[in-house]
Structure 1
């Protein structure tokens, strides 16, 4: 979760009256700049992560995806997605998301000791599975401990996080980028928000979800391309409204229902 009111390096406050440019246009320009930087600078780490994920797919394993707070959207984006890889299992436990209590979920993700409960019910297989953990700050206890637990089980771990944010957080403890095997930096600023509307207001306009999900989908597409280059046929879901989708998707669901409880 992006901490409310987190102070990030948003540029100077917009002038009173807005001038000739809207606040939305300023946000879009800054968002595009962060996205362009992340996509350009993380080409090699995305490829390294794709090799890890492709190895899991080739072994008929499962890519587990976890994020707490707003980062749970990464797990939902990757799962059962039109145009997405079939061998994905989201780690979704409601207390650590938002819809059962946003304030409580923030407390839980910052407390140590919840990783075992979170991962209970998921069958991690070290010889073929891998884990992706998304956390913008990379400093909360839960995502760090989930990454550590997955590694202890023998799974390779990929992280999508902001190194700049992690280094700006004051409280002690390990950071996600220090635990993961492959780290994809989203290049988002501490506090996440990109636009300061006034000097006496917290900045607004978050970037980490837009940028992070673009990196996530880039990783999945690249992993499927790696498989194809090896002469394998990637397992990809087809949009339910396309011709032949029901039959196509039913085959993947039947193969994975024993591994993915959310199907």
Structure 2
């Protein structure tokens, strides 16, 4: 990646997006193909993350234009909204990720997508490792640069257990501004959300080319949205209990 130290923040973000396209473009297509194979065979896409990576779990679940066959798997302890210090502690606690996967019990033809910028804490590593051990392929949405610069709190990294790695290119420490000594303007959510949007776009194109209908949510805020989603809720609510408070 070119040196962009003197570039204003908007330009630096755009440069990172271009870098992501160049580095991860092929892998994004591979991830779309993997998801299509799973969903076409009535599989579920299990999504996981901790701390601020839970923003990406929300981005994938029950989202306008998103796949209906998505189940969030998570432990309440990793949510930072009511106890931020606890969320950091739980993400580093061995065993939590394995328990989450055991409770969700994913199995082929399911797929797992695990979001973690550093991919070095036990929670996301264990989720990926446990899913892979069940024969469920893992798509890791992570940053190789951030991972190299992070403290290793698990013997392996998230990427070590992934069938496909989507490198978001997030810099170590996440912050992007000011360029001479970054301390604010975290960029991980922007890059991860863009990555996921690209996966969905490639998935849509691939499904259309193969004549496969995808189960997709429609915004509840447009006419007919609730009615269109009712069939999807009926189809998936027993397999995805989080859809109806189960």
Report the TM-score when normalising by structure 1: 0.85
Higher helix share: 2
**How far apart are 1:74 and its partner, in Å?**
1.1
* 1:25-60 C-alpha deviation (Å, 9 max, x unpaired): 922221111112112321100001111111111011
The correspondence of residues 44-83 of structure 1 with structure 2, limited to 5 A, is 44-83=26-65
Return the structure number with greater relative CO, CA threshold 8 A, min gap 6.
Answer: 1
In 1: Cα distance, 2:33 partner to 2:221 partner:
31
2:172 aligned residue? 190
Question: Residues 10 and 138 from structure 1, CA distance in 2 versus in 1: closer, same or farther, beyond 3 angstroms?
Answer: farther
In 2: Cα distance, 1:198 partner to 1:218 partner:
31
In 2: Cα distance, 1:235 partner to 1:133 partner:
21
Is 1:164 matched with 2:164?
no
The correspondence of residues 1-263 of structure 1 with structure 2, limited to 5 A, is 11=5, 26-126=8-108, 128-171=109-152, 173-196=155-178, 203-263=183-243
Q: Answer whether contact 2:53 2:115 (CA < 8 A) is retained.
A: yes
Q: Which ranges in structure 1 are unaligned for 5 or more consecutive residues?
A: 1-8, 13-24
In 2: Cα distance, 1:101 partner to 1:188 partner:
26
* 1:120-170 C-alpha deviation (Å, 9 max, x unpaired): 4424122x1000001001111110110000001110000010101111224
Question: Residues 117 and 170 from structure 1, CA distance in 2 versus in 1: closer, same or farther, beyond 3 angstroms?
Answer: closer
In 2: Cα distance, 1:113 partner to 1:101 partner:
20
Q: Which ranges in structure 2 are unaligned for 5 or more consecutive residues?
A: none
Tell me, what secondary structure is at the counterpart of 1:160? strand
In 1: Cα distance, 2:128 partner to 2:141 partner:
11
Report the TM-score when normalising by structure 2: 0.91
Tell me, what secondary structure is at the counterpart of 1:184? strand
